[in-house]
Each structure stands twice: as structure tokens, then as C-alpha cells.
């Protein structure tokens, strides 16, 4: 079961860091680390992840016995986060695994670990009661509260764990179908460091298909930006 045992910190540097340390020391599959506040929260691409104390779900879970059946784990995790947000808010996934509501990011996912040793730490930050964001994020970030759903991080966490339990070992075809039904970029103009084009869904490995003036490209890693 994902979520047991659980270690909760009022303040820590990064739940991913704490979970990696526990995984290194042999902690079991499913071990959960949560925090009210992080002093060094990490995002993808070397970015920082910040959230006011008590306003977000900040969690990292240790996953063991990972193999090729889990190749779509980043996508499966995003589908689980969407489900935990509730269907009323119509959450979508922005490739590869940001969760958006109303074209603003409500949650991010950072997977770190040692694939060669068969374990990973799945870190999720989900903004729940955040009322406002710093100016540089105001147009691109949101929270469940700002989207109109009043709840608390403590109330969302069990739903998120239940959704992760459903999706982490789900069949790839099911993950792809659920992800594709929530694709925020399909048909939208996007740019990335190597070019620009129109997003055209994902292939069966989770790569982003993009139509360009010269044909098609598939992006396997990195990130794209929506041309608004």
C-alpha cells in the first residue's frame, strides 16, 4: 500500500530528499514522506518549488520493484493527481506531467531515484489553499481554492494516495487512454528550445508528437511551452 508507513515533518528541506535518504537506508515500498513546509523544495529542470506553509500537499513516496512495466510512471502519476483534484475542476495534464486547471499549473511531479536499483521517489506538490502567488507565477499557477474547490491538504491526501494506488501498477494501455483524455496541449501551438509546432498527442512510449512545418518530431524528454 502506498502511504504506509508515513513520516510527517512540520518543516523539512525537501520531502524528496528525505524519502531518498530513507530509500537508501532500505525503507519499504510505499513509505510516504509529507511536510507542511519545505525550505528547499525541488522542481523539474533544476527549478525550486515553493509553497506557503500548510497550503499544499507536499509528498514523496518510495516505489520499489520498478521495471519496464512502469515505463509510463510519470504519466500515471499525473493521471492520479488529476483524479485527486476532482472531475468538477476538469484538470488536465500538460506534457509530460504537470497538472493544469484553467491552463494554470496546480501540481508538479518530480521523480528521482536509482532505476538501476529498481527504486524511485515520486514527489508531488499540489497547491490546495494558496490564495495568491508571487507576480512571476500569478498568470501561470493556481490552487484548488482559486479554482473554486475549498478543501485542505489533509483532506486531499487520502484521495491522492488512493488514486496513486490505482494508477501506479495500471496497464500501459489504461494509462495512455486516461492521459490522452486529459491532454492539455493537443492541437495547441508549442515551442521548445529546438523549435515550434502544433502538439499532436503522445506516442505509446509517452513521447510528445509535434507537427512542424517540416513534418513530425517526437520529444522524449524536457519540456515545452504553450504559445499563448
Does residue number 77 form part of the binding site for ligand BTN (CB under 6 A)? no
- Torsion angles phi and psi, residue 198, rounded to 5: -110, 125
Which of 91, 108, 197, 206 is in the footprint of ligand BTN by CB under 6 A? 108
Nearest distance, CB of residue 173 and ligand BTN, angstroms:
26
- Asked if 51 and 123 count as a contact pair (C-beta separation under 8 A), the reply is no
Contacts (CB under 6 A) with ligand BTN, residues 133-192 = none
Residue 121: in which H helix or E strand, if any? Answer: strand 119-127
Nearest distance, CB of residue 100 and ligand BTN, angstroms:
11
Nearest distance, CB of residue 133 and ligand BTN, angstroms:
14
Q: In whole angstroms, what is the distance from residue 81 CA to residue 93 CA?
A: 9
8-state DSSP, 52: -
**Which residue lies nearest ligand BTN, judged by its C-beta?**
108
- Asked if 141 and 127 count as a contact pair (C-beta separation under 8 A), the reply is yes
227: closest CA among 194, 181, 196? 196
Nearest distance, CB of residue 45 and ligand BTN, angstroms:
7
Sheet of strand 56-63, all strands in order from the earlier edge strand to the far edge: 6-12, 32-38, 56-63, 119-127, 104-114, 98-101, 92-94
Report the 10 Å Cβ neighbour count for 125.
Answer: 25
Nearest distance, CB of residue 228 and ligand BTN, angstroms:
19
Does residue number 123 form part of the binding site for ligand BTN (CB under 6 A)? yes
Nearest distance, CB of residue 46 and ligand BTN, angstroms:
9
- What region, left, alpha or beta, does residue 222 occupy, with left being phi > 0 and alpha being psi -120 to 50 degrees? left
Q: In whole angstroms, what is the distance from residue 137 CA to residue 157 CA?
A: 24
Which of 2, 14, 83, 101 is in the footprint of ligand BTN by CB under 6 A? 14
> Taking the CA atoms of the chain, what radius of gyration do you get in angstroms?
17
Which of 29, 44, 103, 149 is in the footprint of ligand BTN by CB under 6 A? 44
Nearer to ligand BTN, 56 or 200 (CB): 56
Alpha carbon 79 to chain centroid distance?
A: 9
Which of 125, 153, 197, 206 is in the footprint of ligand BTN by CB under 6 A? 125
Which of 31, 60, 130, 142 is in the footprint of ligand BTN by CB under 6 A? 60
Nearest distance, CB of residue 220 and ligand BTN, angstroms:
18
Does residue number 47 form part of the binding site for ligand BTN (CB under 6 A)? yes
Query: Binding residues for ligand BTN, per CB under 6 A?
Result: 14-16, 38, 41-44, 47, 49, 58-60, 98, 108-110, 123-125
Amino acid at each position: 500500500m502506498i502511504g504506509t508507513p508515513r513520516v510527517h515533518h512540520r518543516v523539512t528541506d525537501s520531502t524528496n530528499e528525505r524519502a531518498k535518504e530513507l530509500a537508501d537506508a532500505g525503507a519499504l515500498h510505499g513509505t510516504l514522506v509529507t511536510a507542511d513546509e519545505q525550505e528547499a523544495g525541488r522542481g523539474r529542470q533544476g527549478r525550486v518549488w515553493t509553497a506557503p506553509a500548510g497550503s499544499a500537499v507536499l509528498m514523496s513516496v518510495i516505489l520499489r520493484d520498478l521495471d519496464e512495466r512502469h515505463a509510463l510512471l510519470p504519466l500515471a502519476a499525473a493521471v492520479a493527481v488529476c483524479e485527486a483534484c476532482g472531475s468538477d475542476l476538469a484538470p488536465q495534464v500538460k506534457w509530460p506531467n504537470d497538472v493544469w486547471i484553467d491552463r494554470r499549473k496546480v501540481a508538479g511531479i518530480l521523480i528521482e531515484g536509482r532505476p538501476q536499483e529498481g527504486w524511485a521517489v515520486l514527489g508531488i506538490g499540489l497547491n490546495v489553499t494558496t490564495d495568491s502567488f508571487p507576480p512571476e507565477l500569478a498568470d501561470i499557477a493556481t490552487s484548488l481554492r482559486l479554482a473554486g474547490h475549498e478543501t485542505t491538504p489533509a483532506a486531499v491526501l487520502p484521495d491522492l494516495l488512493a488514486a496513486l494506488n490505482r494508477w501506479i501498477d495500471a496497464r500501459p494501455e489504461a494509462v495512455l487512454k486516461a492521459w490522452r483524455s486529459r491532454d492539455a496541449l493537443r492541437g495547441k501551438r508549442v515551442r521548445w528550445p529546438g523549435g515550434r509546432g502544433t502538439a499532436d498527442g503522445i506516442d505509446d512510449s509517452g513521447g510528445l508528437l509535434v507537427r512542424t512545418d517540416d513534418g513530425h518530431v517526437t520529444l522524449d524528454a524536457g519540456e515545452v511551452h504553450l504559445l499563448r
